[in-house]
């Protein structure tokens, strides 16, 4: 089977079985779907193309849907892309496509979020969703003065990462006496239900709540707006990601901080690493990878809690993190032929 | 639902479909040929081939082996999703819960194989039964409550999907038997092996509707439930049977997709399974199955799925700018159905003359 | 598949029509009493305000669908069109810097135009509206994504933000839009020639045509009205969220159908009820609110919602004596 597929790959001109340094690396950078989080990936792909000896292009599936992402990746392979950096449409489900790509001699890395091990992806460069939610909750508890009631706002339950986030917030709360997660509000990735449910919570139980932790993009934006509308600075809040509304709310004191990720670095370093792999490098088995709930081949692309003091300089922080990972990347994680 | 929608067009339409379904043996051979040309299937085939030609000229990647293999695999699954909707459309109903049932079937199969350790040959039929059972529930509720299945399945979509989420806590089953996962990787030339499954299902469905008493009863009851009931056809039963069949086919599509994804995923059809709605409706409707019930075209549904798959794939290859792909796809589909309609009307007029 | 009431004597039918929403009103009151008795926060001014806000938005979505249900068709593009109008409205302010009234006109124009396309294509080709709007849903959503590249528009004018957040006690300013629209829709359906023709086309298109109703004109106008209502809902969502989110409208499908159907709309056409639809929206809003207030396990929310819709529909059948 594998032989046939490899032959097919040759016929299709889709990429050679053994990586050839002579052939230009063409990296497809594929997000899960249209989403503001990934805007920085496009810049990163352009910069990587300009600065490194490779071609990286950012290609967005038409909708946030695993099948559409698979179709996008398959069509990229048809177009001659020979390396894929992907935000997994599904932590388990994207493995099948990646393993097919591997059969075709096309390496892949998971960026942004991880693939569930065992995985054919070379490694995962991203945010540990569990750790990020855990640390965010810790920051929230600190802002709350060490005790109180927390409400957790999160995204689609159908996303396996949501369960991880719920567990992580619960764990962080369990570790501190006097802290309790009094409610989890989920499935609020669409803005209108988010507005309805978050405000209903604030109306009914706002007085009981001392802190809000949001682990999804839309709830972060909507909750920050809700607190601003109410003029409520008593309820502490920690959000996720870098929507302008959230950053403004941090500046104005309605939100304590946000768990920032490093999307630019993910795409830039991902493209760089794929070029190394295509150049004949292999991932060092004994490299200092971290272990997460999903994989033991994890590289932290940088997660930072950003509060009012750092909100205007966070981009520099992330560039510094990116540079730091880039600097030692080849020696730390790769075995390369001379 | 739309029985009163376009009554003037409906009668002629139905005639046309009948003619197209392979029964166009008119008195003169010339007329028969025209009759075939007037059929939806012929129109779809021509439009699809036209686009295949277009894309293979305009893009380098479209005809590559890998792309055709990937394309036919998507087609195999989407056609079964289309069949799943088709068999309910025949009754004049709809099944919004097709995606939810598909996911439930897939997750059930995952649970059977991974948690219970059942062998594949037992787990897959059981999962199909789960799908058929959920479908039968839709049918029974539709008959018993005497409301349109649109409303029933709007609610059960939420119920089935919600139950699945509650039971699985959205965790995937990714440790499936390798033999099952390998099914979706089989390949004959540039055809995906999954097309064999689709072809078998298609033939069985064709036999059901065109060669069995039950199939005839379904078509009669779908065309006019009142008249059917008066002439002794168990209209209620046919509705339940069709919904059960739809559930089983949705589960089958779920199992094929699970094999392709290598894991049973709660997210594989999107929130509430609604990501399946577009392929589910487009294939049979493009294929000439009427929303008003009483008609069916198995080949048309397959060709409808083929057109959509070719368009989607080709547009990706063309690199028209991904953010605009969805808009292009919608526009081309609209033009395609409108043109198909004009073509049929035109030929119908000539034939009458 | 079953067109309710065709075989019923007309007198019985009109009697039922007049009072059919009483059962829904009873359910609503019962639910409110139960919630008020068990959840002290339920009747707080802020919670009532929140529910009325959600109601103001959802009722426009439901009416947008109801107008099309009235002529016996389905409109799958309500959310797609509402979302597109929302980002055009927001983009007109943010990118083009247009003053608010012009931005509103732009958003509304998009809605009306989209509806016009739906209507003309449906009428001219004789295609089922279901398939037409399935395709235009893809077009509207696609243009939305194409224009925004999934990025929200942030530069919403202050008056709009203010309006989305303003309230008098428990009454949201949004009601100033949706209230008159609901009343107007009710009056048009019940008291005008257009309303009568609309229902006539839905009830029996051929008979309507024979009695001199311009069927094509009515179908096109119904779709235009639907588009306008969807656009208003989209713009209210922008005001409420203070943000032009490209994902506005993605979640409207279920509520758009569930509310009118719970409210007694017949999918075969010819029979819709504005009061029933409002009650349907109110019940759905109440359910959503109750699920949060009662701290229902998030994993069970979807399941419960489905059962409640089924229950409400079943109740409707009992109510209408079938």
Q: Which residues of A95-120 are buried (b: 16+ CB within 10 A; e: fewer)?
A: bbbbbbbbbbbbbbbbbbbbbbbebb
pLDDT at C12 over 50: no
CA distance C170 to chain B (A): 31
CA distance B330 to chain C (A): 5
pLDDT at B26 over 80: no
- The CATH class that applies to domain A129-260 reads alpha beta
pLDDT at C48 over 80: yes
Helix pair C193-203, C45-70: axis angle to 10 deg: 60
**B227 at C interface, C-beta within 8 A:** no
CB contact under 8 A, A71 and B316: yes
pLDDT at B81 over 90: yes
pLDDT in the model for residue C18: 56
Identify the CA nearest to A46 among candidates A35, A34, A59, A37. A59
Alpha-carbon dihedral angle through residues A19, A21, A24, A30, given to the nearest 10 degrees: 40
Backbone dihedral angles phi then psi of residue A234, each to the nearest 5 degrees:
-75, -45
Between B351 and B75, the higher pLDDT residue: B75
Q: What percent of chain A has pLDDT over 70?
A: 93
CA distance C44 to chain B (A): 30
Residues linked to residue A305 through DSSP beta bridges, in sequence order = A259
CB contact under 8 A, B316 and A72: yes
Q: Which of C165, C245, C289 sits opposite A200 (nearest CB)?
A: C289
* Structural domains present in chain C: 19-319 (1.10.3470.10)
User: What number is the ipTM of this complex?
Assistant: 0.86
Q: What percent of chain B has pLDDT over 70?
A: 87
Q: Which of C121, C206, C305 sits opposite B158 (nearest CB)?
A: C305
pLDDT in the model for residue A2: 42
pLDDT in tens, B280-325: 988 998 888 877 788 899 999 999 999 999 998 898 888 777 788 8
Average pLDDT for B63-79: 92
From chain C, which residues contact A within 8 Å (Cβ)? 39, 41-42, 44, 46-47, 49-51, 53-54, 57, 142, 145, 149-152, 154, 165, 237, 240-243, 245-248, 250-252, 285, 288-289, 292-293, 295, 298-299, 301-302
Residues 6 or more apart whose CB falls under 8 angstroms from that of C29 comprise none
CB contact under 8 A, C237 and A192: yes
CB contact under 8 A, C47 and A183: no
Residues 6 or more apart whose CB falls under 8 angstroms from that of B50 comprise none
Return the top range by mean pLDDT from A91-100, A304-313, B336-345, C94-103.
Answer: C94-103
For A312, other C-beta atoms within 10 Å of its C-beta total: 12
Distance CA B35, CA B37 (A): 5
Q: What percent of chain A has pLDDT over 90?
A: 61
- The alpha carbon dihedral of B333, B339, B340, B342 has a sign of positive
What value does the mean pLDDT of chain C take?
A: 88
pLDDT in tens, B93-123: 999 999 999 999 999 999 999 999 999 999 9
**A74 at B interface, C-beta within 8 A:** yes
Nearest CA in chain A to C288: A197
Which subunits count as partners of chain C given 3+ CB pairs below 8 Å? A, B
Q: Say what the pTM is.
A: 0.87
pLDDT in tens, B217-241: 999 999 888 888 888 888 899 999 9
Residue C296: burial class (beta carbons within 10 Å; 0-12, 13-18, 19+): middle
Query: What is the number of CB-based contacts under 8 A between chain A and chain C?
Result: 106
Distance CA A57, CA A72 (A): 13
pLDDT in the model for residue C264: 80
Residues C215, C197 contacting (CB under 8 angstroms): no
Structure tokens at C225: 């009205």
Nearest CA in chain A to C244: A191
CB contact under 8 A, A93 and B262: yes
pLDDT in the model for residue A220: 96
pLDDT category of residue C240 using cuts at 50, 70 and 90: very high
pLDDT at B127 over 50: yes
Residues linked to residue A29 through DSSP beta bridges, in sequence order = A58, A85
pLDDT in tens, A138-154: 999 999 999 999 999 99
Query: What is the number of CB-based contacts under 8 A between chain B and chain C?
Result: 185
- Positions of CATH 3.40.50.2300 in chain A: 2-127+262-302, 129-260
CB contact under 8 A, C205 and B5: yes
Q: Strand, helix or coil at B28?
A: coil
Residues linked to residue A57 through DSSP beta bridges, in sequence order = A28
pLDDT category of residue C10 using cuts at 50, 70 and 90: low
For C30, other C-beta atoms within 10 Å of its C-beta total: 10
Backbone dihedral angles phi then psi of residue C41, each to the nearest 5 degrees:
-75, -15
pLDDT at B35 over 50: yes
Distance CA A113, CA B234 (A): 53
* Structural domains present in chain B: 7-352 (1.10.3470)
pLDDT in tens, C272-315: 889 999 999 999 999 899 989 998 888 888 888 888 888 877 77
pLDDT in tens, B154-207: 899 999 999 999 999 888 898 899 999 988 888 888 899 999 999 999 999 999
Check whether the bond before A118 is cis (ω within 30° of 0): yes
pLDDT category of residue A9 using cuts at 50, 70 and 90: very low
| Of A286-295, C114-123, C258-267, minimum mean pLDDT range | C258-267
pLDDT category of residue B245 using cuts at 50, 70 and 90: very high
CB contact under 8 A, B326 and C257: no
Fold of A2-127+262-302: Rossmann fold (3.40.50)
pLDDT in the model for residue C8: 44
pLDDT in the model for residue B315: 87
Q: Which of A63, A64, A92 sits opposite B263 (nearest CB)?
A: A92
**A72 at B interface, C-beta within 8 A:** yes
Between B310 and A6, the higher pLDDT residue: B310
pLDDT at A305 over 50: yes
Chain B residues close to A77, C-beta within 8 Å: 66-67, 70
Q: Which of B64, B65, B275 sits opposite A65 (nearest CB)?
A: B275
Distance CA C155, CA A160 (A): 34
Residues B118, B126 contacting (CB under 8 angstroms): yes
What value does the mean pLDDT of chain A take?
A: 88
**Portion 52-81 of B in contact with C at CB < 8 A:** none
| Of A34-38, B36-40, C170-174, minimum mean pLDDT range | B36-40
pLDDT category of residue B351 using cuts at 50, 70 and 90: low
pLDDT at B38 over 90: no
Distance of CA B213 to the CA centre of its chain: 23
Between B309 and A11, the higher pLDDT residue: B309
pLDDT in tens, A242-270: 999 999 999 999 999 999 999 999 999 99
Q: What percent of chain C has pLDDT over 90?
A: 66
Structure tokens at C52: 């009325």
Residues 6 or more apart whose CB falls under 8 angstroms from that of C64 comprise C75, C78, C82, C226, C227, C229, C230, C233, C256
DSSP for residue B111:
I
- Counting every residue, how long is chain C? 322
Residues of chain C by 3-state class (helix, strand, coil), percent to 5: 75, 0, 25
pLDDT in tens, A77-126: 888 899 999 999 888 889 999 998 998 889 999 999 899 888 999 999 98
Residues A127, B235 contacting (CB under 8 angstroms): no
pLDDT at A308 over 70: yes
């Amino acid at each position: 089977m594998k032989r046939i597929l490899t032959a097919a790959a040759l016929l299709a001109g889709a990429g050679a079985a053994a990586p050839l340094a002579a052939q230009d690396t063409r990296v497809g950078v594929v997000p899960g779907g249209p989403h503001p989080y990934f805007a920085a990936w496009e810049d990163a792909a352009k910069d990587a193309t300009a600065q490194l000896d490779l071609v990286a292009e950012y290609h967005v599936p038409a909708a946030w849907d695993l099948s559409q992402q698979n179709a996008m990746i398959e069509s990229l392979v048809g177009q001659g892309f020979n390396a894929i950096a992907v935000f997994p449409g599904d932590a388990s489900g994207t493995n099948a496509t990646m393993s097919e790509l591997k059969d075709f001699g096309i390496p892949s890395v998971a960026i942004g979020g991880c693939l569930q091990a065992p995985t054919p992806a070379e490694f995962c460069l991203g945010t540990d969703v569990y750790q990020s939610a855990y640390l965010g909750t810790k920051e929230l508890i600190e802002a709350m003065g060490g005790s109180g009631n927390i409400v957790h706002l999160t995204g689609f339950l159908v996303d396996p990462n949501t369960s991880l986030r719920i567990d992580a917030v619960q764990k962080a709360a369990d570790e501190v006496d006097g802290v309790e997660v009094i409610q989890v509000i989920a499935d609020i990735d669409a803005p209108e239900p988010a507005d309805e449910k978050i405000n209903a919570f604030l109306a009914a139980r706002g007085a009981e709540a001392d802190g809000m932790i949001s682990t999804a993009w839309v709830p972060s934006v909507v909750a920050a707006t809700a607190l601003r509308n109410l003029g409520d600075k008593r309820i502490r809040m920690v959000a996720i990601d870098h929507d302008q509304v959230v950053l403004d709310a941090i500046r104005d004191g309605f939100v304590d901080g946000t768990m920032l990720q490093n999307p630019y670095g993910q795409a830039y370093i991902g493209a760089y690493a794929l070029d190394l792999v295509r150049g004949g490098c292999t991932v060092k088995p004994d490299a200092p990878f971290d272990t997460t709930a999903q994989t033991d081949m994890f590289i932290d692309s940088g997660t930072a809690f950003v509060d009012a003091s750092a909100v205007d300089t966070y981009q520099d922080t992330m560039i510094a993190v990116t540079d730091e990972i880039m600097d030692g990347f080849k020696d730390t994680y790769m075995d390369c032929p001379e | 639902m739309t029985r009163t929608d376009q009554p003037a067009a409906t009668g002629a339409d139905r005639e046309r479909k009948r003619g197209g379904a392979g029964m166009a043996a008119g008195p003169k051979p010339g007329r028969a040929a025209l009759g075939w040309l007037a059929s939806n299937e012929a129109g779809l085939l021509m439009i699809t081939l036209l686009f295949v030609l277009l894309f293979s000229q305009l893009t380098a990647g479209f005809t590559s082996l890998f792309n055709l293999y990937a394309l036919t695999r998507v087609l195999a699954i989407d056609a079964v999703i289309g069949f799943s909707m088709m068999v309910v459309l025949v009754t004049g109903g709809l099944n919004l819960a097709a995606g939810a049932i598909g996911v439930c079937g897939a997750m059930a199969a995952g649970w059977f194989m991974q948690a219970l350790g059942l062998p594949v040959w037992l787990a897959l039929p059981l999962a199909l039964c789960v799908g058929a059972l959920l479908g039968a529930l839709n049918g029974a509720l539709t008959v018993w409550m005497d409301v349109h299945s649109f409303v029933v399945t709007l609610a059960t979509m939420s119920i089935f999907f919600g139950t699945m989420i509650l039971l699985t806590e959205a965790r995937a089953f990714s440790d499936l038997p390798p033999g099952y996962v390998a099914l979706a990787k089989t390949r004959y030339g540039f055809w995906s092996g999954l097309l064999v499954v689709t072809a078998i299902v298609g033939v069985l469905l064709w036999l059901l509707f065109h060669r069995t008493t039950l199939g005839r009863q379904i078509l009669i009851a779908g065309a006019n439930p009142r008249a059917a009931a008066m002439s002794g056809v168990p209209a209620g039963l046919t509705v339940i049977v069709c919904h059960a069949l739809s559930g089983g086919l949705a589960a089958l599509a779920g199992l094929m997709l699970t094999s392709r994804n290598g894991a049973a995923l709660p997210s594989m059809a999107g929130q509430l399974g609604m990501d399946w709605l577009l392929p589910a409706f487009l294939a049979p409707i493009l294929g000439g199955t009427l929303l008003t019930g009483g008609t069916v075209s198995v080949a048309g549904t397959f060709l409808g799925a083929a057109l959509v798959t070719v368009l989607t794939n080709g547009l990706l290859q063309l690199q028209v700018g991904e953010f605009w792909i969805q808009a292009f796809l919608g526009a081309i589909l609209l033009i395609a159905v409108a043109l198909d309609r004009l073509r049929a009307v035109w030929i119908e007029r000539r034939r009458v003359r | 598949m079953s067109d309710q009431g065709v075989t019923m004597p007309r007198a019985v039918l009109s009697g039922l029509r007049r009072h059919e929403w009483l059962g829904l009103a009873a359910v609503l009151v019962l639910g409110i009493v139960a919630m008020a008795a068990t959840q002290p926060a339920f009747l707080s001014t802020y919670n009532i305000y929140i529910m009325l806000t959600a109601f103001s938005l959802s009722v426009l979505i439901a009416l947008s669908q109801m107008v099309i249900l009235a002529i016996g068709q389905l409109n799958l593009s309500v959310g797609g069109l509402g979302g597109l109008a929302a980002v055009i409205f927001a983009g007109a302010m943010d990118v083009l810097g247009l003053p608010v009234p012009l931005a509103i006109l732009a958003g509304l124009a998009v809605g009306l135009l989209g509806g016009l396309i739906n209507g003309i294509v449906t009428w001219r080709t004789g295609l089922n509206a279901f398939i037409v709007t399935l395709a235009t849903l893809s077009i509207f959503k696609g243009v939305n994504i194409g224009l925004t590249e999934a990025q929200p528009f942030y530069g919403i004018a202050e008056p709009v933000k203010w309006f989305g957040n303003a309230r008098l006690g428990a009454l949201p300013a949004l009601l100033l839009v949706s209230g008159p629209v609901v009343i107007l829709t009710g009056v048009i359906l019940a008291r005008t020639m257009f309303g009568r023709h609309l229902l006539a086309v839905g009830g029996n298109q051929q008979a309507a045509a024979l009695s001199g109703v311009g069927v094509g004109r009515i179908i096109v106008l119904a779709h235009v009205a639907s588009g306008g209502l969807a656009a208003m809902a989209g713009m209210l969502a922008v005001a409420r969220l203070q943000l032009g989110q490209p994902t506005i409208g993605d979640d409207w499908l279920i509520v758009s159908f569930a509310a009118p159907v719970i409210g007694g709309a017949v999918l075969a056409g010819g029979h819709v009820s504005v009061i029933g639809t409002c009650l349907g929206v109110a019940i759905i809003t109440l359910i959503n609110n109750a699920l949060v207030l009662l701290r229902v396990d998030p994993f069970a929310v979807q399941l419960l919602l489905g059962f409640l819709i089924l229950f409400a529909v079943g109740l409707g059948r009992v109510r209408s004596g079938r």
